[in-house]
Every structure is written in C-alpha cells, then in structure tokens.
Chain A
Amino acid sequence: MTSERVYLALLRLYPGEFREEFGDALLDAFRELHRRSGHRRIRFWSALVADLAHSICREWLDSLRSARGQFALRWVFACASGAIVTGTVGSALSWSFTYFYHPYLEGLTFPAWGYGALLGSGLGVAQLAALRARLRLGSAWVLASAACAAVGLEVAVLIARSGGPVAYGLVLGCFIGAGQWLVLRRKTREAAWWVAASIVAVPIGIVSCGLALNGPLRGLNQLSNDVLASHAPADSGHAIGLLSRGLYGPTSLVDLTVEFAVMATAGLVIGAVTASALSSLMSRAR
C-alpha cells in the first residue's frame, strides 16, 4: 500500500489532462508490475522512476505545445509584462520627481492607492490582451483591476505593518481577485475560484521574488516596502513619501536591472500560479 501511495503521489507530477485520462490505467499497470517484481525492489523502483521522469517531461512538453499550453504561456508572459510595465512607469515617475524637483512640491506624496491603480492597470491591460482571443471582457477588466488594486494596496500596506509580506500578499490578492471576479462571473461559471487563485498567487509571487532577490516586497510594490522597513514617516497616511524624497527611484543601471528582474519574477510566478485556474475556468465559459 505504501508503494501505491508513493506512485500515486508521483502521478500528480503529470499534467492534469493526462492524469485524468490515464491515471487509473497507469495505476493498474503499476499494481501488476509491482506484484510481479518480487524482491527486486531497487531495480523495480529505479526503472519506474526513470520511466516517470522521461514520460512526465514528454507530457509537459506536449501540454505546452497544445492550444491550452500556448494560452497558458501567453498568460504568464502577459502577467510578467504587466508587472514590468508597472515597475517601469513607477520608476519613471520617481525619477522625474527627483530630476524636476521644486520646493513647491515639498510634502507631496505618492499614495499607495496611486501605485495600486498603476499596478492594477498594468496587469489588467496586459492580461486583457492575452485573454482577448478567448474571452471578451473589455475595459471593465482593466477598470476593475485598477480600482480594486488601488483599494487593496491601501489596506495591504496597513495590514503588512503587523502581518508581514504574506498578509500583504493575501490582502492584495484578495482585492485584485475580487475585482476581476466581478467581471469574470458574467462570462464563466464558478468564477469565484478566481478569487481563491488570486489569493494564493499574489503572496507566492511576492515571497518568491523576495526570496529570489533577498528583498521581500521590493518589486511588486517598493513603496509599501518602505513602510515595512520604517524608512518613511509612519504617520504620513500614505505608503511613503517616495516622490517627495526620491529615495527609492532607481539611481543606477544595476538598480533598474534588479527592479526589472524582481517585477518579472513576481509577474511570472503570479501568471504561472493563476494560469491553470484560468484555463479550467475558461473551459466552463458560458
């Protein structure tokens, strides 16, 4: 029974479509082989693992070549592009403020909701382009993403002071997911799963880009990172006085490269986590 459980766990590494179609048959064949393998357990398992490794790779390649796989790749690319565009525009704003600084602008801050709206719009536009061929969602998708990301980021920044990056991601994911659900529910059944996918994806995206570059939260929202790091006045009522001080605008090519890498990582991870949920929802489109 233990062997069977191990094999069942390994079967989960196949793409879902293949597993659904052949999972039972694979298990039947395994039982038969296992029964007849006698005491040659090491030989049996080494052959089995080699067989699994080869066929799992092959099935994933097949799956990526399929129409569903192509869409998933487009979606992941769109999420990464949206995040990179957000980072680029944010950096450009920050840089312009530093460059064109004037005493009249003293005290001006860039609120968290502003960055949230930017993030929501960037992601929303890129995602809409990827979805266009399969679902007609229109500008409502972008507006809902921008509005909910704006509110979500304000709340997330407050919560993140005590809850850390995961809580921040959960809140932001929840708001963005809920906003997009409002649009998605008109097109597909069980759209509520999209909120769950988003709640899972955003914290993973934030934590993984942090882990990858040793700077949790930097990237998806460098403004709120300031708050967490206590660099900004806590009573500002805003995420940070970033634009008023120009502290975190990229000051060198290395800064800019790191920021692009972080945004791309976060976007890729969020896209990869949500791609399978989205494909499954689209198969139930009205």
Chain B
Amino acid sequence: MFSTRIEFCVLIGLLDGPRHGYGIMQDVGEMTAGEVRLGPGTLYSAIKRLLRGGLIEECEADADRRRCYRLTRKGRTAAAEEARRLSDLVRAARKRGLLPSAS
C-alpha cells in the first residue's frame, strides 16, 4: 500500500486532521523526537505517492492559502494495518528479550 517509513509518518501526522506541508513536517519531527526530519522535497515526494495511491487527498487551503491534505478512509485503514504490523513485530521482539517487557 505504501512503501516507506516516511509515508507512514505522514499518514500518522494526518491522523489528527488536515495539515499543510510545513505542519506535517513539524508534526513528524515532534512525533519522532527529531529522529525523522523531513525536508520539503522528501515530504512532497511522499505526498505525491500517497495522493496517487488514494491514501490522502487535498482539501481546502488554509487561511494563508497553503495546500492542505487529509487522510482518506483507505489511508486510515492502511495506516492502522501498518501500525498493527509494527506492533506485532515489537511484541515479537519483546517476547524474544530484545526489548524490556511492557508491564
């Protein structure tokens, strides 16, 4: 459905509602504690692929006339599936002692 961690980060960044490009970059930076820093080029490359895949869509521009994007139903489902997959992997890693137990 989507191929990179960046695209997953963008989908997660849009879960709280529509955002413009710069807003997504900031959200992703905060969400990953600065580990993933999106530049404009990387961000819009990811946005292009997500738009083509129908995972996000453009919505009305904000007050500053910046283009905004929001998740589609398909995008939300894809993000949930990916989160579940990652969560299963983390659980498996815990079970094998790679990570400390959650409890």
* Residue ranges of A at the interface with B (Cβ–Cβ < 8 Å): 14, 18, 21-22, 24-26, 28-30, 32-33, 47-48, 50-52, 54-56, 58-59
Contacts and interface: CB of A to CB of B under 8 A. Distances in A.
> Main secondary structure on chain B at its contact with chain A?
helix
Interface in B31-82: 37-45, 47-48, 66-67
9 contacts: A21-B48, A25-B21, A25-B40, A25-B67, A26-B40, A28-B66, A30-B40, A48-B40, A51-B40
Contact of B41 (A24, A26, A28): A26
B22 A33 contact: yes
Contacts of B22: 28-29, 32-33
A30 B66 CA distance: 13
B10 interface: no
Interface string B4-23: 00000000000000001110
B21 A28 contact: yes
Given A22-B48, A25-B44, A29-B22, A55 B39 contact: yes
Nearest to B46: A55
B28 interface: no
Contacts of B48: 18, 21-22
Contacts of A59: 45
A225 to B, nearest CB: 44
Contacts of A22: 44, 47-48
A54 B42 contact: yes
A11 to B, nearest CB: 9
A29 B39 CA distance: 9
Interface of B: 20-22, 25, 37-45, 47-48, 66-67
B55 to A, nearest CB: 16
Contacts of B20: 28
B39 A48 contact: yes
* Residue picked from B38, B40, B44, most chain A C-beta under 10 Å: B40
Given A28-B22, A29-B22, 7 more contacts: A14-B41, A18-B45, A21-B48, A26-B44, A33-B25, A52-B39, A55-B39
Nearest to B4: A58
A58 B25 contact: no
B21 A55 contact: no
A68 B66 CA distance: 29
B66 A51 contact: no
A13 to B, nearest CB: 10
B21 A51 contact: no
B31 to A, nearest CB: 18
Nearest to B37: A47
